[in-house]
Amino acid sequence: MGLLSGKRALIVGVASKLSIAAGISEAFYQQGAELAFTYQNEKLKSRVEEFAKGWGSELTFPCDVASDEEIEAVFTELGKHWDGIDIIVHSVGYAPAHELNGNYVEVTTREGFRTAHEISSYSFVALAKAGRSMLRENGSLLTLTYLGAEKVLHNYNVMGLAKASLEANVRYMAASLGEEGIRVNGISAGPIRTLAASGIKSFRRMLSENAKRAPLRRNVTIDEVGNSAAFLCSDMASGITGEILYVDGGFNVTAMGPIED
Per-residue x/- track, 171-210, ligand 0WE (CB under 6 A): --------------------x----xx-xx----------
245 contributes a contact to ligand NAD by CB under 6 A: no
List alpha helices for 178-260, DSSP H. Answer: 195-198, 203-213, 222-233
Q: Which of 72, 73, 77, 94 binds ligand NAD (CB under 6 A)?
A: 94
**β-bridge partners, 185:** 142
Side by side, the strands of the sheet bearing 135-145 are 60-62, 34-39, 8-12, 85-90, 135-145, 183-189, 244-247
**Binding positions for ligand NAD, 27-56, rule CB under 6 A:** 40
Q: How far is CA 138 from CA 12, 60, 143, 181, 230, in A?
A: 20, 24, 17, 5, 14
94 is known as an active-site residue: no
Per-residue x/- track, 96-125, ligand 0WE (CB under 6 A): -x--x-------------------------
Measured distance CA(184)–CA(174) in Å, rounded: 5
The residue range among 26-34, 54-62, 87-95, 175-183 that interacts with ligand NAD, by the rule CB under 6 A, is 87-95
Partner whose binding site includes residue 40, from ligand 0WE, ligand NAD, none (CB under 5 to 8 Å by kind): ligand NAD
**Binding positions for ligand NAD, 120-149, rule CB under 6 A:** 144-146
Tell me, what DSSP letter sits at residue 253?
A: G
64 vs 243, which CB is nearer to ligand NAD? Answer: 64
Which distant-in-sequence residues (6+ apart) come within 8 Å of 200 by Cβ?
Answer: 100, 101, 155, 206
State the helix-helix crossing angle for 123-131 and 157-177, rounded to 10 degrees. 30
Question: In whole angstroms, what separates CA 228 from the centre of its chain?
Answer: 12
Partner whose binding site includes residue 119, from ligand NAD, ligand 0WE, none (CB under 5 to 8 Å by kind): ligand NAD
Q: Which residues bind ligand NAD (CB under 6 A)?
A: 13-16, 19-21, 40, 63-66, 91-94, 119, 144-146, 189, 191-192, 194-197
